[in-house]
Amino acid sequence: MNKLFQIGREFLAGELPVTENFKYSMIVYPVAAVHAAFFFFFLFIKVPPMTAYSLLSTTAYMLCTRLLKLGTYSYIYFVASTEVIINTILTTWLMGWECGFASYLFALVAAGFFISYTFHKYQITVPAVCSIISTLTYFVCYFCSYQYTAPYAITDTRILVPLYIFNASCTFVFIAIFSILFMMEMRVSHKKLFQENQMLGQIAGNDALTGLYNRWSMKNFLEEAVQSEEPFCLVMCDVDDFKRINDTYGHGCGDAVLKHISELLIKELPKNCCVSRWGGEEFLLLLKGHSLDSAAAVSDRIRHMIAVNDTIYEEKMIPHTLTMGVAHHHKNQTLDSMISRADVKLYIGKRQGKNVVVS
């Protein structure tokens, strides 16, 4: 019982998907149950044509359970639509308008548009045509019912009123079921869309290979750092002799080196600071709240950690080093000029023999 309640809560919370099979099951089984009840009711009040029709309808819906297993849902819709329309015509003709059987046409219209997108084609045309036919059936039955006396008309209000209330209640229940299913489906769709947007945002903001922030994301962080007016430094890093690593061990090894260095950078980076893959084998560090000297010290510690932790690739130890250029942000200085200064210092380090920090 607790498990059933848990499933119900998950369903109402939009955590369980509303499958096509479930939607059509909510048509087949409840309608079959209603017709089974009507079979005994018509048998009791002695209306042989409707007794036979209710038995036939119940059998038809039970056969539809086979269609549920086969996944041929469009046939179920056509069976249900045809059955409800015929049922309205027969009951109005045989028993009169006052019994309220025509109210099921409202549920038919609501169900048609709710499940219409499960059709492979004519997703709007089919329910629209069915709605037009249902509307015409409703009004034709209404006007014709006053032109003649129904052969099995119920005059006893003790039967007529409960019958009308039952039909109206079933109609409202069916409409409520479709409305709840629609609401649940919207919740599931909204949750799925939110998750996909988060995933797209992560894909758009992160480098696919290393998982680090990409250039676009880092630029946003840089703009925020400038607006905060808090001191910060940029550190431009470049993997030394990366082309030689690719040429010697292959591009797979180069990718492994970039991933490993990225992991080390994340591990050694101070709090409230961030790192991005700036492009190729270049990384850019944003060190918030650091002076030039402290940023140089942090950079040298990271440089040392990269140098002493080789990448293991196919049981081989791949050595690598970083050359780093550090630039401190000055007031009224543009980000482009600051990045250029870090770049210049980086290439000074390259000329000085690599594996150094230049500040």
Confidence of residue 115 (pLDDT cuts 50, 70, 90): confident
Q: Is the pLDDT of residue 316 over 70?
A: yes
At 209, which helix (H) or strand (E)? none
Please tell me the predicted confidence (pLDDT) of residue 7.
47
Q: Is the pLDDT of residue 34 over 70?
A: yes
Distance CA 358, CA 350 (A): 10
Which has the higher per-residue pLDDT, 303 or 121? 303
Tokens of 64: 């539809």
At 286, which helix (H) or strand (E)? strand 282-288
Residue with tokens 């009123």: 161
Query: What's the gap between Cα 163 and its chain centre?
Result: 43
Q: Provide mean pLDDT across the span 147-175.
A: 90
Please tell me the predicted confidence (pLDDT) of residue 1.
46
Please tell me the predicted confidence (pLDDT) of residue 4.
44
CB 281 within 8 A of CB 236: no
Distance CA 49, CA 42 (A): 9
- Number of other CB atoms surrounding residue 40 within 10 Å: 11
Tokens of 9: 């809560």
Please tell me the predicted confidence (pLDDT) of residue 48.
94
Please tell me the predicted confidence (pLDDT) of residue 201.
61
Q: Is the pLDDT of residue 266 over 60?
A: yes
CB 356 within 8 A of CB 329: no
* Candidate from 66-75, 234-243, 274-283, 304-313 with smallest mean pLDDT: 66-75
Tokens of 143: 């006007």
Distance CA 300, CA 288 (A): 16
Domains and CATH numbers, the chain: 2-201 (no CATH), 215-358 (3.30.70.270)
Residue with tokens 């431009």: 236
Q: Is the pLDDT of residue 17 over 70?
A: no
φ, ψ dihedrals at 332, nearest 5°: 65, 15
- Number of other CB atoms surrounding residue 354 within 10 Å: 14
Please tell me the predicted confidence (pLDDT) of residue 345.
95
* Candidate from 7-16, 90-99, 110-119, 348-357 with smallest mean pLDDT: 7-16
Q: Provide mean pLDDT across the span 148-173.
A: 91
Which has the higher per-residue pLDDT, 72 or 233? 233
Distance CA 28, CA 175 (A): 14
Helix extents (H) in the chain: 2-12, 20-45, 48-70, 73-95, 104-114, 125-144, 157-205, 215-228, 242-249, 251-268, 292-308, 335-351
Distance CA 304, CA 100 (A): 85
Confidence of residue 344 (pLDDT cuts 50, 70, 90): very high
CB 105 within 8 A of CB 138: yes
Distance CA 76, CA 61 (A): 8
* Rg of the chain (C-alpha set): 36
Distance CA 76, CA 187 (A): 26
Question: 38-48, pLDDT tens digit by residue?
Answer: 999 999 999 99
Confidence of residue 79 (pLDDT cuts 50, 70, 90): confident
Please tell me the predicted confidence (pLDDT) of residue 301.
94
Distance CA 228, CA 207 (A): 26
Q: Is 140 helix (H, G, I), strand (E, B) or coil?
A: helix
Which has the higher per-residue pLDDT, 243 or 228? 243
- Number of other CB atoms surrounding residue 353 within 10 Å: 9
Please choose, from the candidates 181, 159, 193, 133, the residue with its C-alpha nearest in 3D space to the C-alpha of residue 44: 159
